[in-house]
Amino acid sequence: MLAWDDLIRYLGVFFTIIATGFGFPLPEEVPIIAGGCMVSAASSDPESTLFWWIMLPMCIIAVVIGDGALYMIGRLWGVRLLELDWVKRKILPPEKKARIEKNFHEYGVGILLVARLLPGIRTPIFMMAGMIRLPLHRFLLADGIYAIPGVSAIFWLAYWFTDAFAGAFHKVEEYRPWIILGIVTIIVGVLAYKYLLRRHVATGDPEGIPLIGEQVAKIGGVLDHHHHHPLPPPLEPLPEQIEQQEKIRKTEEGAT
């Protein structure tokens, strides 16, 4: 029987991972690391119900569910969502949409691997995978390539090094207020720069990752080779989009 406090911890890690996929301003790795640290710290407590064989699969499943939800949103409602002004401004501007679509047709599922390593939000890339009707099995293949070994590596590193982190923390205890202030300042600065000033949207360009970007994209292409099917042609504009563009064109011609 799970203790109530431990159930809250399991669910907290699970839903925080999913939230990061929808733009919550926190790296996906943070709740995974937190899960590993929690399990490690509880391993010496015989009454604890925090176990790695529960926490680790939950982390992997949360990553896949979060990514899959973005894919399905793009597949079912993506074209309509692109018509919303706030989506155009903050999530997927038209020029970014065109660039992401081009990268998908050029690199295939390799772009999903590149998106994991880019500093931008992965939301537009995963939604775009659904919008261009990337086959679901290929999407899950790319997601699994990262989720199983990637999440496991992060989790176990946090698990093994928890004691080392705790020891280092005790050594700098007297400087804790200044350390906390510094960390908060850095986090606020990074978030302000990223979300208020730059509003960066990742497009999956391999060159966005120095040195290894092209290699990562090619690895994805090789792993996807036996499952490859041509992607559908680029998305066609909706009838109302065509009508609106025609009105704009006639207005511009009248003005000249």
- Report residue 188 as tokens: 């606020």
Rounded mean pLDDT, 209-220 = 53
Residue 101 DSSP SS3: helix
What's the CA angle centered on 169, arms 4 and 24, to 5 degrees?
55
Sequence-ordered alpha helix ranges (H) in the chain: 4-21, 29-42, 52-81, 85-86, 94-107, 110-117, 123-131, 136-171, 176-191, 213-223, 239-255
* Nearest Cα to Cα of residue 16 among 84, 73, 62: 62
Per the structure, the complete domain to which residue 240 belongs is given by 4-255
Token code pair at residue 225: 């080779």
Which SS3 state, helix, strand or coil, does residue 201 take?
A: strand
87: tokens are: 């989506």
Confidence (pLDDT) at 111: 80
- What end-to-end distance do the CA atoms of the chain give, in Å? 76
Average pLDDT over residues 13-28: 85
Give the C-alpha distances (Å, rounded to integers) separating 113 from 41, 108, 207, 222.
32, 10, 13, 12
Structure tokens belonging to residue 7: 């159930």
Q: Average pLDDT in the 57-64 region?
A: 95
Supply the DSSP symbol for 120.
Answer: S
List, in order, residues 6 or more apart from 159 with CB less than 8 Å away: 36, 37, 39, 40, 52
Closest by CA to 162, choosing from 20, 13, 41, is 41
Render pLDDT for 223-253 as a digit per residue (tens, 0 to 9).
455 445 555 555 555 565 566 667 666 666 6
The CB density around residue 3, as the number of other CB atoms within 10 Å, is: 12
Average pLDDT score over the chain:
75
Reported as a pLDDT band with limits 50, 70 and 90, residue 57 is very high
Which residue(s) pair with 201 in the sheet? 121
Instruction: Give bridge partners of residue 121 from the DSSP assignment.
Output: 201
Cβ pair 126, 21 in contact under 8 A: yes
Better-scored residue on pLDDT, 116 or 123: 123
Q: What is the mean pLDDT of residues 116-141?
A: 80
Confidence at residue 17, expressed as pLDDT on a 0 to 100 scale: 93
Look at the chain and report how many structural domains it folds into: 1
